[in-house]
Homo-oligomer: A and B are copies of this chain.
Amino acid sequence: MNSSVKAFMFDVYGTLFDVHSVKEKCDELYPGKGEEISFLWRQKQLEYAFLRQMMGRYDTFINITRDSLKYALNTFKLEYSKENEQSLMAAYKNLSYYPEVENVLTQLRHKKLAVFSNGSRDMLETLIHNSGLSSLFDEMISVDDVKQYKPTPASYGYALHILGLEREEVLFLSSNGWDIAGAKNFGFKTAWINRNNLPMEELSLEPDRVYPDINGIVEWR
């Protein structure tokens, strides 16, 4: 349908990869608490990235992920140990991709394919390598290269620079409504992968398309 799209750029955590196994690991280490720990952990992980961006105090996502885990465990008065931290951080490097991902990516191979994440380069490369999908991507782009977190225009601008295209030639996909809003604000074409049937974010920046999983994007090939 949309031959004007020359690149598909994917967010990673929650979009291509299911972070459910992080929750399972939390529950294994802190029985019965997995759901609430992983929920608060994720919320503070985003919040710390946003706060550091606004304060001009960039730190890597791997450090932020550790800091937010610590906060979450403190909130529930649970013991923080180096072993548990390492075990939980390791879970982030061995996530499963969603079932439709490999098939969809294979169908889009004639276009440029990229991942673009707030994750640190080491987290990202290890994950993609471990998944066996790395040969399908032309670019693995981390905000860590410019130390500007999504959803700043500077972060999407850096990704565009790496792709070497025009804004409107890029279809950006994310399961995070805030990320889709940021990409739309920057000028990318956007598709919100609404895997959890959430309401639209009230930011006056509607995505071009909404799909329940990434199968829908083959109409842009």
Q: Which B residues are CB-close (under 8 A) to A152? A: 54-55
Q: Which B residues are CB-close (under 8 A) to A70? A: 202
Size of interface on A: residues with Cβ below 8 Å to B: 34
A152 to B205 CA separation, bound complex (whole angstroms) = 23
CB distance from A68 to the nearest CB of B (A): 7
Is A178 on the interface with B (CB-CB < 8 A)? yes
A54-B182, A57-B185 given as contacts; is B202 within 8 A of A48 (CB)? yes
Is A1 on the interface with B (CB-CB < 8 A)? no
A50-B50, A68-B202, A202-B48 given as contacts; is B55 within 8 A of A182 (CB)? yes
What number of copies of this chain does the assembly contain? 2
Is A207 on the interface with B (CB-CB < 8 A)? no
Residue-wise interface mask of A (71-112) relative to B, using a CB-CB cutoff of 8 A (1 in contact, 0 not): 100110000000000000000000000000000000000000
Residues of A169-207 at the interface with B, using a CB-CB cut-off of 8 Å, are 178, 181-182, 185, 198-205
Q: Which B residues are CB-close (under 8 A) to A44? A: 202
CB distance from A1 to the nearest CB of B (A): 29
- The answer to whether A199 and B56 touch across the interface, beta carbons within 8 angstroms, is no
Is A129 on the interface with B (CB-CB < 8 A)? no
Is A28 on the interface with B (CB-CB < 8 A)? no
List the 10 shortest-distance A-B pairs measured between CB atoms, nearest first.
A74-B199, A67-B202, A50-B50, A55-B185, A71-B202, A54-B152, A70-B202, A51-B178, A54-B151, A55-B151
